[in-house]
A and B are shown apart, each in its own frame.
Chain A
């Protein structure tokens, strides 16, 4: 196994570890009571994006 593959594997493992930790954190920091009260469907914003607050030419 060459060095590059080792690095990639190590990064993969790290990424996996971070994802697991993130999922754990999601569970810990979300409100279970609120989660159960929401219906199945999601309240999502309309697709069309609106204008910015100000122009980019400052």
Chain B
């Protein structure tokens, strides 16, 4: 019989129905939400699609705008180019004609084809047509000279000099050289060099310097032009800070020959000495003495042989000079070049401007002292001949010497007196490795101290002491309850194991420290051997420093700067 008693049977039907309705409602709501989510997804997809389309459209639009801009740039450039060319034709059309005539006459005279009378007639009209152009009177002077008309030649020459002294001087220096008139050529070249500003030289001067150092303008010109160049040096030296600048420039140039030590050299010092960076730098610096000596002595040991290539380069300069645009034309010519580049680059103004700027940097002028350093130290890059290299070094002798002396002093100053050693936490110092015994003792003491410290750290752990205490306690209690002796034995065994472990660990530590001591001693001895080697090598390299100084002293500038013909002064080479 059940003890349960029903008090009242509840009618849950209505609640159940209500819950059912609620459940249905929730289901409807869920469906509705699903629809909403679907719609959101659809909208989202559509938004993404629209965004992609819009991006594509924007890209297309940008491309269109860019294309349109480029096309417009081309159109504008083409229109402007026509205008610039018209202007050039109107203003300087005759200049081109003069250039063509000069080239023609030079070529014709070279092969003796044109009658002198024809040359005279053609040139006079050019003079009238190009009233400001320097080449027109040059043309008349040249043809009058060829026609043996001294008066006209002089008159035209004076007019040409009035219009452009520098170019006229160079023109006649080159023409007279081509015609083997060395005396006149020397006079013209001397004038041309005299007109130059040594702070701002055109790059073409390299060819002329190479020309005169190799005797292309005749033996006399070497001495005369050399005097002119000496005045450049004096003039440059007058500028405040020039000497210091040269000093620094030469230091950098000499230092650029420095080489890194072999990575396999001094491996122990690299590893065990904190002074290694200084040791490395000073030894590399000391090795530089021999490198510099070898570099310069090799240059001076070579024999100069006149080079045909240099003569042809000098000759080519005449063609360049004659065909080059006049400075008066340059603004228009530059516009013309930039506009042409814009058209060539399909309207891309930025790319065209970049190319234009790159071309312009080639026109930049350089100072003579910069040229001298480049000739002496980077002859391959500066295309300097052996004669020019020797000449530049001779001219720069005092600057090189002062820079070299400074490098030597600075290098000696960084040589460490004490060389610090650091081997596995041990630190020591040596000067020349002579305190080896002292350092070994110090190392031994250091390792011994560390070993003692390490051994003192190895102690029996508390749990083993508890084991011992438990063993004693159980042994005591075992007298009243004998089976507790078993526990006493277990505890004693546990304690014994602990003790054994401690002894084993200590043995291990002793062994480790013995190995460490052996390793450290080997490292120390090897490092000390390298210290001795380093000191010896440094001393040997440092002794070489004097070789270059003596070599420089032995160079007689007159010999290479051609300022004297007295070969009795020659000492070297």
Nearest opposing residue in chain A for B119, CB measure: A37
If over half of B's interface residues share one DSSP class (helix, strand or loop), that class is named, otherwise mixed; here it is: helix
Cβ of A56 and Cβ of B235 under 8 Å apart? yes
Q: Known contacts A29-B311, A44-B184, A56-B235: does B157 contact A21 (CB below 8 Å)? A: no
Whether A22 contacts B215 in the complex (CB less than 8 A), given A37-B112, A43-B141, comes out as yes
> Is B570 close to A, CB under 8 A?
yes
The answer to whether A26 touches B303 (Cβ under 8 A) is no
- Decide if A37 touches B146 in the complex (CB within 8 Å): yes
Contact check, B568 vs A8: say whether CB atoms are below 8 A apart: yes
B178 at the interface (CB under 8 A from A): yes
| Interface presence of B150 (CB below 8 A) | yes
B567 is an interface residue with CB less than 8 A from chain A: yes
Task: Decide: B308 and A46 in contact? CB cutoff 8 A.
Answer: no
Complex interface: stretch among B94-102, B169-177, B476-484, B505-513: B169-177
- Docked-complex contact A42 and B567, CB < 8 angstroms: no
B303's nearest neighbour on chain A, judged by CB, is: A14
Is A34 close to B, CB under 8 A? yes
Q: Which of B190-211 contact A (CB under 8 A)?
A: 191, 194-200
> What does the 1/0 interface line of A29-49 toward B look like (CB < 8 Å)?
111011111110111111001
**Known: A11-B567, A45-B161. Contact between A33 and B111, CB under 8 A?**
yes
**B114 CB, nearest partner CB in chain A, Å:** 10
Instruction: Check if B219 is an interface residue, CB within 8 A of chain A.
Output: yes
Bound CA span A34–B573, Å: 38
Rounded to whole angstroms, the CA-CA distance of A53 and B218 in the bound complex is: 27
What chain B residues lie within 8 Å of A15 (beta carbons)? 567, 570
Distance between Cα atoms of A46 and B112 in the complex (Å): 29
Q: Specify which chain A residues have a CB less than 8 angstroms from the CB of B169 in the assembled complex.
A: 45
> How many Å lie between the Cα of A21 and that of B310 in the bound state?
14
> In whole angstroms, how far apart are the Cα atoms of A43 and B180 in the complex?
13
Q: Does B530 contact A (CB under 8 A)?
A: no
A16 CA / B301 CA spacing, docked (Å): 17
The count of residues in chain A whose C-beta lies closer than 8 Å to any C-beta of chain B is 38
Contact B197 A50 (CB under 8 A): no
Find chain A residues with CB under 8 A from B179 CB: 30-31, 34-35, 37-38
B146 touches A22 (CB 8 A): no
- The minimal Cβ–Cβ distance linking A39 to chain B, given in whole angstroms, is 4
Residues from chain B with Cβ under 8 Å of A11 in the complex: 559, 567, 570, 573
Nearest residue (CB) in A for B162 is: A50
The interface residues of chain A lying within 8 Å CB-to-CB of B159 are none
B2 CB–A CB distance under 8 Å: no
A30 to chain B, nearest CB (A): 4
B428 an interface residue at 8 Å Cβ cutoff?
Answer: no
Distance between A42 CB and nearest chain B CB, rounded to angstroms: 4
B200 touches A54 (CB 8 A): yes
B215 contacts A18, CB within 8 Å?
Answer: yes
Q: How distant is B308 from chain A, measured CB to nearest CB, in Å? A: 6
Per-residue A-contact encoding for B144-182, CB less than 8 Å = 1, 0 else: 011010100110011001000110010010001111111
B23 to chain A, nearest CB (A): 97
Partner of B183 from the list A7, A26, A42, A52 (CB cut-off 8 Å) is A42
Instruction: Give the Cβ gap from A31 to chain B, nearest Cβ, in Å.
Output: 5
Residues on A with beta carbons closer than 8 Å to the beta carbon of B215: 18, 22, 25
Q: Are A54 and B567 in contact (CB-based, < 8 A)?
A: no
Q: Which residues of B contact A38 (CB under 8 A)?
A: 145-146, 179, 181
* B315 and chain A: residue at smallest CB distance: A29
- The contact of B304 among A12, A18, A35, A39, by CB within 8 Å, is A18
Interface bits B402-438 vs A (CB < 8 Å: 1, else 0): 0000000000000000000000000000000000000
Binding site for B on A (CB under 8 A): 7-8, 11-12, 14-15, 18-19, 21-22, 24-26, 28-31, 33-39, 41-46, 49-50, 52-54, 56-58
Nearest 10 pairs between A and B by C-beta?
Answer: A29-B311, A11-B570, A30-B180, A42-B184, A33-B112, A39-B148, A22-B215, A25-B306, A34-B179, A43-B145
- 9 additional A-B pairs beyond A38-B146, A56-B198, A56-B199, beta carbons within 8 Å, are A31-B180, A34-B180, A36-B112, A39-B145, A45-B161, A49-B195, A52-B195, A53-B197, A56-B239
